[in-house]
Amino acid sequence: MTQALDEIKIGGLGASRKRVEDDRFIRGKGNYTDDIALPGMLHMEILRSPLAHARITSIDASKAWEIPGVHLVLTGDMMATRNLAWMPTLSYDTQAVLATDKVRFQGQEVACVIADDPYIAKDACEAIDVEYEPLPVIVNPTQAVADGAPVIRDDKENQADNVIYTWEVGDAAGTDRAFEQADVVSRLRLHYPRSHPSPIECCGSIADFNRATSKLTVYMTTQAPHIIRAAVAMVAELPEHMIRIISPDIGGGFGNKVPVYPGYVCSILASILLERPVKWIEDKTGNLISTGFARDIYLDGEMALRKDGKILGVRMRCDADHGAFFSDAQPSKFKIGLLHSAFSAYDIPAAHLRARGTYSNKAPGGVAYRCSFRVTEAMFFQERMMQAAADDLGMDQAAFRRMNFVRDEDFPHRTPFGFLLDSGQYRKCLDVGLQAVGYEDFRKRQAEARAAGRLLGIGISTMTEPLGAGNSREYDILGIKMFDSAELKVHMTGKAIVRTGARTQGQGHETTWAQIVSHELGIPAEDVVVEEGDTDTAPFGMGTYASRSTPVAGAAVAMVSRKIRAKARKLAAHLLEVSEEDVEWELGRFYVRSAPDRGVTIQECAMAAYSNMPDGMEPGLQNTAFYDPPNLTWPFACYIAVVEVDPATGVWDVLSVVAVDDCGVRINPMIVEGQIMGGLTEAYAMANMQFITFDAEGNCVGSNYMDYLLPTAWETPGFELHSEVVTPCPHHPIGAKGIGECAAVGGPAAFVNAVIDALSGTGVRNIDMPLLPDRVWEAITHRRDVSGAPPVRTDD
């Protein structure tokens, strides 16, 4: 029998193939939205509000209109004549496209100018005279619900206060009973600060309405082109088949490029009005102050504990500050996303969560920055709470976690908040991590260092998270059910093209989707081209965010490959002149069961599909598969950081980081490692340096790269990665679980826990992120918790 082709050699599952897309990126040949220039193209700039809360008393754009080269000035009133001054958000709220009545956050879009070039447009924006009447400003939930607080959303009928929702989940009575039986109750309160995904490429769009064909083409930086097409069709009341969204190369998304932003809408309207292409490219400050903030949540929790360490119950309360518009791009029916995935990895009999969302005079927040809809906040709180509880019990951090983990033999496991976990080896992951970091020995080193006046600390973060929204039963965006599809065409020479509705932004889909086809069909990966991002050619999909590509679109790629294989089997039977039942499959080849030497390759079958098909068979070899996942996938990870804190300055250095990730079967181990390193880098940045907040007037502090720091290779610590724990996902066609965001979700708690561990014995339970030296120093010197909640003081 012919030997099965070596899968790794052809670039199939498990091959660390170099990313094919990198070839054009490292040569500077990427094709980003800003690289595109269309004939007759005009340029749009946005005038933003300097104030966080103010009534607009007048807008005088006459001087802007007079500037040579200006073609159009758009204001809220003009948008209103077309019913476009407001737009619906993905969370069933409304958001101002251009302000009419009031401005509600600093940086809000007030007017747009379309001109021959961006410089003229910018100058003309400055020539627009806007009169504001300042109003009191709200920058946190306490202010939002205080007596007499101004109502931010007075545009909404029946909105008498600043509360957006209250929501609860879990078993309140059962949790109360657990607390009655507790020997120890542990408490923790913290603020997960606003953070910003801050992709290197800002948002932008080029709208091109062609009056002759009535076709609207929009090139834009979106992670979800099909959803944008649906939104444009619904909001602008344009026929969906006449809208083409093209998402070219994207310079990082991280959730920032999921929502619909006013700039997109204005460029589309301007192109329709002017019948010329209109380009809008946001500047960095615009991106940092007005688009997709994440987190900003106050978490308060209690844990009921037996004195031997068993967790009996958990209570969580949260106040989420959504900013001026509730525009979270989250597809769950749960108001606070998947925050109730907290504590899923632990076997806890009872839990209850109560959440409240409020408006504030800040840019809309709640974007899932490298995160599945609040799982970052959930896992951070979980692992900070686990540390506090272990400390309260006087128990070892690792032993406390190990004792409470869901055990391998207990899957499938239903969490007290209702999720179903299918698989995992949590203890093994932890043990590999502890071994790698030298945990036993560390405690000795820590004690010796402490005696010498040095503060060493170790932080453990073990987490699982729900990745791959959705399944259509539970997840939808504006009623559109969450599933994905893939289309595969195998040409007659055996080369293939696969298209999905996902959109890579650096994750490497062009490499890994080809590997899945290769695994399923034995076609070398280099013979498979991957295309995404054009709604006229790609099949429907809900986009790429929340590490959902592999769990959903990747699964669709496997399923469509299997459909192709099923047809190829019929072709093989025809070519081999045997019945289909007598045909066996090995990678890349069908053969006759009773005569294994007689076989045909997948490429020969492809040629037959166009040249020698059996009577009655539809010619060609192409198909589409829609994939509706039965459940989310649940990867698991153990991140451990070791740090040293300088007691004199509060500066802390990372001595080592160990990461053990179990994301099931790895399609491309090298890409997976890249994803983990990127996630850990962002986790470190959030914990250590990224500071973007608001003062009492609602001014955004940190809206530039001098304050909101992106870690470079210089600051970023080294990471030791482990891949030996592999628990395939039982319901995914190739056993893969998502990985893209795990380290960004689980990583921050490892760093913060390590610093708090270094301060053990001081009574300090919490320092809010970022753990800037002055905050750590304040905690050390005053032996107290340090909050980073806004408003910040700006007078010192």
Annotated catalytic residues are: 223, 370-371, 741
Q: Is the dihedral of CA 443, 445, 451, 453 positive or negative?
A: negative
Q: Which of 135, 142, 113, 141 is nearest to 126 (CA)?
A: 113
The tokens describing 10, both together, are 């052809």
Q: Are 336 and 299 in contact (CB under 8 A)?
A: no
C-alpha span between 434 and 441 (Å, rounded): 10
Our CA angle for 297, 302, 307, nearest 5°, is 150
Our CA angle for 322, 326, 328, nearest 5°, is 85
**DSSP code, position 9:** T
Counting Cα atoms < 13 Å in the Cβ hemisphere of 480 gives 19
The three-state secondary structure class of 460 is: strand
Q: Which is nearer to ligand CDP, 226 or 589 (CB)?
A: 226
Task: Annotate 550-572 with b (16+ C-beta within 10 A) or e (fewer).
Answer: bbbbbbbbbbbbebbbebbbbbb
Q: Are 560 and 623 in contact (CB under 8 A)?
A: yes
Instruction: Please give the distance of CA 508 from its chain centroid, rounded to a whole number.
Output: 15
The tokens describing 178, both together, are 């657990």
- Give least dist CB 463 to ligand CDP, A: 15
- Give least dist CB 678 to ligand CDP, A: 10
- Give least dist CB 381 to ligand CDP, A: 23
Q: How far is CA 94 from CA 85, 153, 423, in A?
A: 10, 10, 40
β pairing state of 496-500 and 528-532: parallel
Q: Are 471 and 552 in contact (CB under 8 A)?
A: no
Q: How many CB atoms lie within 10 A of CB 417?
A: 23
Counting Cα atoms < 13 Å in the Cβ hemisphere of 252 gives 15
- Give least dist CB 369 to ligand CDP, A: 12
Q: How many residues are recorded in the chain?
A: 796
The tokens describing 541, both together, are 């999909």
C-alpha span between 35 and 25 (Å, rounded): 13
C-alpha span between 297 and 352 (Å, rounded): 17
C-alpha span between 168 and 550 (Å, rounded): 31
Contacts with ligand CDP, residue ranges (CB under 6 A)? 507-509, 512, 544, 547-550, 554, 663-668, 671-672, 675, 736-740
Hunting for tokens 């997709």 — which residue is that?
292
Backbone angles phi, psi at 526, to 5 degrees: -70, -10
- Give least dist CB 412 to ligand CDP, A: 20
Count Cβ atoms within 10 A of the Cβ of residue 147 and give its class: 0-12 exposed, 13-18 middle, 19 or more buried.
exposed
Task: Annotate 583-620 with b (16+ C-beta within 10 A) or e (fewer).
Answer: bbbebbbbbbeeeeeebbbbbbbbbbbeeebeeeeeee
The tokens describing 310, both together, are 């068993």
- Give least dist CB 553 to ligand CDP, A: 8
Q: Are 592 and 598 in contact (CB under 8 A)?
A: yes
- Give least dist CB 551 to ligand CDP, A: 6
C-alpha span between 31 and 583 (Å, rounded): 45
Q: How many helices (H) and strands (E) does the chain have?
A: 19, 34
